[in-house]
């Protein structure tokens, strides 16, 4: 459990937006992220929309190239690999997408969808592949009777099972799950979360689990990373979130969740305003304009260092 599977160093990605007269403003999607994913763990990545968590997931999978910084997978520098080697490496890392409706090709039958990864990577003979596909379906709780159906014939939960099956096809070590249950109803969401936990146990998978939903993150993660405006603001083992003092943003995020218990008082701290735009970042700490504990001038002028305050507990705040 203590072996590092994946590591990023100063990982950053900017996007140049199109303006009315050509080059527009620069959008900072991910800035200076240092993160290590341990083999066999589930690392939860939580943050509000637009904070850069999906972009980080894509950078890690080399689906996007970084503006700056590096990604290492099992000690190998992913960012500098020749194409052929990268393709080999892709077998080790797969993704499950949020929307099970748009991430499956509507013109392909389940059989074809699940066989495609093997064809792309030139694995197995036809008969062999058929067996693998049938086994995959069983693995995610579907049956051979589903092989000749099209995605539209399935419910949302079943489609997400297909998405998981496709990600499993090449027996990856790492699966980046990008909001895999956000589009699902609670009763179905529970099925998929259980399935992911089962598969992890059975195959020793490592998950980077991206979600905006703290309850879901707390359900599944061994460690949790919190992102705000393109930066990591906190990372810690799960138990820390129960006890220790946390980054003011994490505290606000936790307090903002309405709990399904009417006896527990709901008194979220008033966070002023909206998250600022990633096009025009605030100076200093990205959270200072909304932070209830911000102190001028330090929070406005200095970017807080992302540092380890206790073993395994990383925070970027001047006052933690």
Partner 1 sequence: MTPAAPSPLLQIRDLQVHFDTPAGLLRAVGGVSFDLDAGETLGLVGESGCGKTVTALSILRLLPATHADMTGEIRFAGEDLQTLSEPRLREIRGNRIAMVFQEPMTALNPVFTIGEQVAEALRLHRGLSHQDAWQAAGQALTRVGLPEAQRRLKQYPHELSGGLRQRALIAMALACEPEILIADEPTTALDVTIQAQILALLKNLKEEMGLAVLFITHNLGIVAQTTERVAVMYAGAIMEQAATKELYKNPAHPYTRSLLAAVPRLDFHQPPGEKLAAIRGQVPGLEAPPTGCLFMDRCPEAREQCQEPPPWVEVEPGHQVRCWNYA
Query: Is 20 one of the binding residues for partner 1 (CB under 8 A)?
Result: no
Contacts of residue 17, defined as CB under 8 A and 6 or more positions apart, other chains included, come to: 24, 25, 26, 27, 279
| Minimum distance from residue 161 beta carbon to partner 1 (Å) | 12
DSSP state of 145: G
Contacts of 171 (CB under 8 A, 6+ apart): 91, 203
Residue holding tokens 């080399």?
Answer: 62
Span 154-183, contacts to partner 1 by CB under 8 A = 155, 157
Is-contact 31 39, C-beta < 8 A? no
Q: Is 266 in the site for partner 1 (CB under 8 A)?
A: yes
Please report, for residues 94, 193, 203, 225, the alpha-carbon distance to residue 175 in angstroms, rounded to integers and kept in the order given: 5, 14, 12, 16
* Count of positions on this chain that bind partner 1 (CB under 8 A): 53
Q: Does 193 bind partner 1 (CB under 8 A)?
A: yes
> CA triplet 292, 293, 296: central angle to 5 degrees?
110
Q: Does 17 bind partner 1 (CB under 8 A)?
A: no
Q: Is 38 near partner 1 (CB under 8 A)?
A: no
Residue 262 contacts partner 1 per CB under 8 A: yes
145 binds partner 1 (CB under 8 A): no
**Distances from the Cα of 74 to the Cα of 4, 5, 77, 152, 183, angstroms:** 7, 5, 8, 38, 32
Q: How far is the CB of 245 from partner 1 (least distance, A)?
A: 14
Q: Which of 212, 245, 300, 318 binds partner 1 (CB under 8 A)?
A: 212
Q: Considering the complex, what minimum distance in angstroms separates the CB of residue 88 from partner 1?
A: 30
83: left (phi over 0), alpha (psi -120 to 50) or beta: alpha
227 vs 143: CA distance, rounded Å:
39
Q: Any contact of residue 248 with partner 1 (CB under 8 A)?
A: no
Omega of the bond leading into 297 within 30 degrees of 0 (cis): yes
Instruction: Kindly state the smallest distance separating residue 97's Cβ from partner 1, in Å.
Output: 19
Contact with partner 1 (CB under 8 A) among 40, 48, 170, 281: 48
CA distances from 307 to 73, 131, 233, 314 (A): 23, 49, 10, 5
144 binds partner 1, rule: CB under 8 A = no
Nearest distance in Å: CB 277, partner 1: 9
Exactly one of 125, 127, 186, 311 binds partner 1 (CB under 8 A); that residue is 186
Question: Whole-number minimum distance, CB 263 to partner 1, in Å?
Answer: 7
Taking the least distance from each CB to partner 1, the nearer of 67 and 200 is 200
CA contacts within 13 A on the Cβ side of 216: 28
Residue 132 C-beta: closest distance to partner 1, Å? 26
Contacts to partner 1 by CB under 8 A:
42, 48-49, 155, 157, 185-191, 193-194, 197, 200-201, 212-216, 218-222, 224, 238-242, 252-264, 266, 268, 270-271, 273-275
């Amino acid at each position: 459990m203590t072996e590092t599977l994946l590591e990023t160093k100063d990982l950053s990605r900017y996007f140049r937006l199109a303006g009315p007269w050509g080059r527009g403003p620069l959008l900072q999607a991910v800035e200076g992220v240092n993160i290590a994913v341990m083999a066999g763990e589930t690392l939860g990545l939580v943050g509000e929309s637009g904070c850069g968590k999906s972009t980080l997931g894509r950078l890690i999978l080399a689906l996007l190239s970084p503006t700056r910084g590096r990604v290492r997978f099992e000690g190998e520098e992913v960012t500098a690999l020749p194409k052929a080697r990268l393709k080999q490496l892709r077998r080790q890392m797969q993704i499950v997408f949020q929307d099970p409706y748009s991430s499956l090709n509507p013109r392909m039958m389940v059989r074809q969808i699940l066989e495609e990864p093997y064809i792309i990577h030139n694995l197995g003979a036809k008969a062999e592949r058929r067996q693998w596909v049938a086994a995959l379906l069983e693995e995610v709780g579907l049956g051979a009777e589903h092989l000749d159906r099209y995605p539209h014939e399935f419910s949302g939960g079943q489609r997400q099972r297909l998405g998981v099956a496709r990600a499993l096809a090449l027996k990856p070590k790492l699966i980046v799950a990008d909001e895999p249950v956000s589009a699902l109803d609670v009763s179905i969401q529970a099925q998929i979360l259980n399935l992911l936990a089962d598969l992890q146990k059975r195959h020793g998978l490592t998950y980077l689990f991206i979600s905006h939903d703290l309850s879901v993150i707390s359900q599944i993660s061994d460690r949790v990373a919190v992102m705000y405006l393109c930066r990591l603001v906190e990372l810690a083992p799960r138990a820390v979130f129960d006890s220790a003092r946390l980054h003011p943003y994490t505290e606000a995020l936790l307090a903002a969740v309405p709990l399904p218990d009417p006896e527990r008082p709901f008194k979220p701290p008033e966070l002023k305003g909206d998250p600022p735009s990633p096009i025009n970042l605030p100076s200093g700490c990205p959270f200072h304009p909304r932070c209830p504990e911000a102190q001028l001038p330090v929070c406005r002028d200095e970017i807080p260092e992302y540092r380890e305050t206790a073993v395994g507990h990383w925070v970027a705040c001047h006052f933690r």
